[in-house]
Each structure stands twice: as C-alpha cells, then as structure tokens.
Amino acid sequence: MDNRRVILAVALSIAVLLIWNQFFTPAPQVPQVQQPTQTAQAPAPAPSVASSQTPASVSDVSSQTPFSFTPTEGKQVVVETPLYRGVLNTTGGVLEHFVLKKYTESIAADSSTIDLIPSEALVRAPLGISWNKLPAWSKAEWGFSGEDLSLTGTEDGTLTFTGRLGSVTFIRTLTFAANSYEIREKIQVVNTTSAQVTGNLDFSLASVGLSAKDDRYNQNKVASLSAKGLDEESDADDLTTGISLPAGNVLQWAGIENNYFILAVVPTSGDMGLKAKLDNGIYRLLVGQNVILEPGASQTLACTYYLGPKEMSVMADAPNELKRCIHYGWFDIIAKPLIVGLNFLYTYVGNYGVAIIILTILIKLLFWPLSQKSYKSMEQMKKIQPMMAKVREQYKDDRDQMNKEVMRLYKTYKVNPAGGCLPMLLQIPVFFALYQALLGAIELRHAPFVTHLPFTDLVWLADLSAKDPFYITPIIMGVTMFMQQKMTPTTGDPTQAKIMLFMPIVFTFIFLNFPSGLVVYWMVNNILSIAQQWMITRKV
C-alpha cells in the first residue's frame, strides 16, 4: 500500500474529528430559570432562628416546584478567605454565593470575579440537604450558631446549622479553611422519637454551568469517579433524562465541571449513591445514603465540598482522588507530564506563549530522528514517482498486474512504502496529548502571549485560551501547512493530490476559532517541520 494513502487516511481522520467537534457538538441548553424575588433580608434573632415558612406535608410537595429555594429567610453569613468569599443563608445553610477572588470572567480591566453560585442556581439550593426527598431548607425549622468568618494563613473556622424536621434533628457543622477551596461537612442526624426512623439523606450542589452556552471547546459536564471508573457526561439530552448511580458502586466523588473549574461533592463516610440531572438549564447533584435510627439514636455522615479551579497543585491533597477530575482524554498519561513541563518552562520564561514554543521545539528535537527517517523515506518515494506513473498508465486496465509492478519497483529500489508513515504515526499520541493538554489546561486561561498587535494598541493574543481576534495565527498556520504539503512528495493519483492540497484550507477554517495557544503550537510545529524537510531535501 502506498505510504501516501496511509498518511491521507490519518489526515482525513483528524479532519473528521475536528470538523465533528466544530459543527456537531451539542451546545449546552440555555438556562430558563425563573429569578427568585429579591426582597430585603430580615435579620434573625440569634442564636435560634425559626423559619417563617409553614412546614409542608409530604402530600403537598408533589404539587410544588421540587427543591425550590427563595433566599429571603433567615440572614446571610459571610466567609472571607484569601481565596474566596462565600455567602450562606442561616435557613438550612444554603450557599448563595461563592466568589473566586483570583479568577475573573474575562481579561477586561473591569471584569468581575467569578461567582460559582450565581443567583439563577439558588432555586436548586446548593449545599442544601434533603430528607426523604423533602427539601430540609424549606420544610424544617432552623437555628444557627456562629458569626461571619474572616480567615487568614492556616486558620479554620466553623458554622453550625441546626434543623428540626418531624421526628429528626439535623446538626450541620461546616468547616472552612483559609488556604483551601474545600468545605468539610459533618452532619449528625438524631432520632428524637421513641420509634425507629428510616430515611434518605442527600447532600446537594447546583450550577447553571461554568461555561458559556456557545463554547464548543469548554463544555459543561457532570463527572463522577466510582468503582466503574471515571465518567464524564456532557450530552444535554442524557443529562435531562438524568443519571443515577446507586449505592454499592463505591462513589468517590461527583461534580459539575468544565475544563477549568469544578463544584464537587466528595463523600467521606458510608456508601453513598448519586443522582444528577439537567433541569431547565440548571445542573444538580444529589449524593446521599439511607439512614436507619433506633429511638433516641443518632448517626453522623460526612462529606467534603470542593468549589474551585482544576489545578493540580491546588487539588493535590483533596480527598478520594478528586484530582482525577483533571483529565485530558485518551492520552491523559502523556498530557499531564507535558503540562508539568510547560509549567516548569513558565517558571523561567514567565510567558506561557513562549513556554509553548520552547516545549514544541523540545518535542520536535525528541522526535527528530523519527522525522528524519520519515522525510528520507518520502524523498526516496519521490525519486521513483515517474516510474510509478508509467506503471499505472501501462497497466491501468489490469489492477492486479499494476500492483505487482509497483511492488517490484519498491523491491528493486529498496523503498519501504510505509517508511514515511510509521515514524509519523508514533508521534501522533504526543501531538494529540499536547492538543488536549493545551485545550484543557487552566494555566492558559487568561494567560497572555503578545498582548497587543505590534505597533498598535489593539488587543491581540492576550488570552491563550481564547481565539485570535484577528485570525492572524490561524492564517499563518494554514499557509505553513500548505507549504509543507507542497514540499511533500505526491503520488501519481491526481485526485488524491488535490484532496491533500485542499486540507490546509479545511484546517485553517477549523482553527479560526481554536484557542490561540493551540494554534501557536500547531503553527510552530509546522514551521519546524518545513525547516527540517527543507534541510533533508537539500541534503538529498
């Protein structure tokens, strides 16, 4: 088989993959959430705060919007750390805001910091608990012990929320740390009656999604790690139907995520199950287990919430292998060392764009011998192209004889038709790994390369996770790809040659909206390949 046909198959496979990602990836649903009515918050008489809502019976629940929450009861309590500002409601301990102080929505000077719990998500009561499918934050009477926290250094602080719902009492203790995005919870469930009580306790998280609805390269997902392995689901239809993972599957954690951030529940006691759903544009997780309490007995359940960046150094000590949420696809085992190398280079050059260029050069040097062998094999193929063209013309009506004559040419001139392809195939895992790593690395989010177009005040490559606003780098990438294609020996098949020359146009179009960090990598790799191929051609 002609080596050019193998290369064509690989190139077309990549093109199909990228085109599918560009045009057929389902976009996240647009949130259609009814905004809660904002009214003045009435301070509660401390330390015991009773909800003004009349507890509903079980029969009333089905006629209401399930798990709805209106943040007008009780009062707000604020937790300030160097990393975030959290706002909780004393009625049930529902999280109303969680603002990441080190991350902004955009690179604009007046951009606001990221709030992982925007107001739209409050109707699903993030950090609320439910008991037997009843929303405890609205059905129970609640008391609160604590005050606003301002934590620095290695300080910890706690808030305690006490609720009474029918025959059980909940004592929620939330612990916050100044140097961590983790919130640790211990909840004591107490049977206050003289009869046995059985129920299901669920911890919850909710989000409207962490990415823009039209972001094809940074999709919202629901992820989990269990005995079944790591699972990530981004399909809106499947999430609308709902995901269920019953107890017994050794659930390690579950989260709502995108490439850069995650809101996760990490069970640290018992064997908990998972339910997840996308409902009216809101992602919701329920993680919990059955509780059986004898008269007067109590049981303590525990979990850890993580609301923050997917950064390896930050998540290194998170429980239950939560750091595995940082995953770069099929070639994750290769991608992670590449990110480590990228960060290492950044510590010296102070610019991730420059670090990408240096890393690309180092990878090119690593595979230089393989590339040399590939290009030399291509040059050998180029020499016998005229003879192959004559054979094809002579035996165009006899396919079998034509193949025999072509193979005889290969044998006579000691040309291996796969010699140019196999070395390139060995490099594909590294190329794809670096592609996935640069696509998902939070290090590139809002990382500048060349902040302004030279000799102008126009913002250019000021964010390596965003596209090139002037499409300069994709066009250069396409031109270099065309030059590389023209330098590559062609087969005698004119149709195939035309298709290969069309590929740079297709790739240029696809790369127009790619994150600029990826385009810089591909462009530099093309330039280095052209230089290497020119050197070999000149030498031969």
**Comparing C-alpha atoms, which of 434, 533, 433 is closest to residue 485?**
533
**Element spanning 22, H or E:** helix 3-23
Q: In this model, does residue 56 exceed pLDDT 90? A: no
For residue range 108-121, what is the model confidence (pLDDT) as tens digits?
989 999 999 988 88
For residue range 331-377, what is the model confidence (pLDDT) as tens digits?
899 999 999 999 999 999 999 999 999 999 998 888 888 777 777 77
Instruction: State phi, psi for 416 to the nearest 5 degrees.
Output: -95, 110
Q: What is the pLDDT of residue 491?
A: 52
| Phi/psi-derived region of residue 230, left when phi > 0, alpha when psi is between -120 and 50, beta in every other case | beta
Pick the more confident residue, 82 or 72.
82
| Alpha carbons 54 and 327: distance in angstroms, whole number | 46
Q: What b-and-e string marks burial along 476-486, b requiring 16 or more CB atoms within 10 Å of the CB? A: bbbebbbbbbe
Tell me the pairing of strands 243-245 and 141-145. unpaired
- Please give the span between the terminal C-alpha atoms of the chain, in angstroms, as a whole number: 24
Q: In this model, does residue 183 exceed pLDDT 50? A: yes
All domains in the chain, ordered by first residue:
58-327 (2.70.98.90), 333-539 (no CATH)
Quick one: CA torsion of 125, 99, 256, 131, rounded to 10 degrees? -20
Q: In this model, does residue 470 exceed pLDDT 60? A: yes
**11-25, 411-425, 444-458: least confident range:** 11-25
Pick the more confident residue, 334 or 395.
334
Pick the more confident residue, 499 or 41.
499
Q: In this model, does residue 199 exceed pLDDT 70? A: yes
> For 294-322, what is the mean pLDDT?
94
Pick the more confident residue, 465 or 389.
465
Instruction: State phi, psi for 290 to the nearest 5 degrees.
Output: -75, 145
**Whole-model pTM over 0.85:** no
Q: Which residue has the tokens 């399930």?
A: 66
How many CB atoms sit inside 10 A of residue 490's CB? 18
Write the CA distances from 145 to 162, 189, 284, 304, 448, integer angstroms.
Answer: 8, 17, 28, 20, 45
Q: What is the pLDDT of residue 227?
A: 93
Q: What is the pLDDT of residue 487?
A: 75
Q: Give the pLDDT band of residue 278 (cuts 50, 70, 90).
A: very high
Q: Where are the alpha helices (DSSP H) in 52-139?
A: 58-61, 136-139
Q: In this model, does residue 174 exceed pLDDT 90? A: yes
| Alpha carbons 22 and 514: distance in angstroms, whole number | 9
Query: Count of alpha carbons within 13 Å of 201, Cβ hemisphere only?
Result: 26
DSSP β-bridge partners for residue 278: 283
Beta strands in 43-94 (DSSP E): 76-80, 84-89
Pick the more confident residue, 499 or 288.
288
Query: What does the block give as tokens for 143?
Result: 């008391």
For residue range 234-269, what is the model confidence (pLDDT) as tens digits?
998 899 999 999 988 999 999 999 999 999 999 999
Q: Give the pLDDT band of residue 397 (cuts 50, 70, 90).
A: confident
| Alpha carbons 434 and 355: distance in angstroms, whole number | 13
Q: What is the pLDDT of residue 84?
A: 97
153 within 8 A of 180, measured Cβ to Cβ: no
Q: Give the pLDDT band of residue 506 (cuts 50, 70, 90).
A: confident
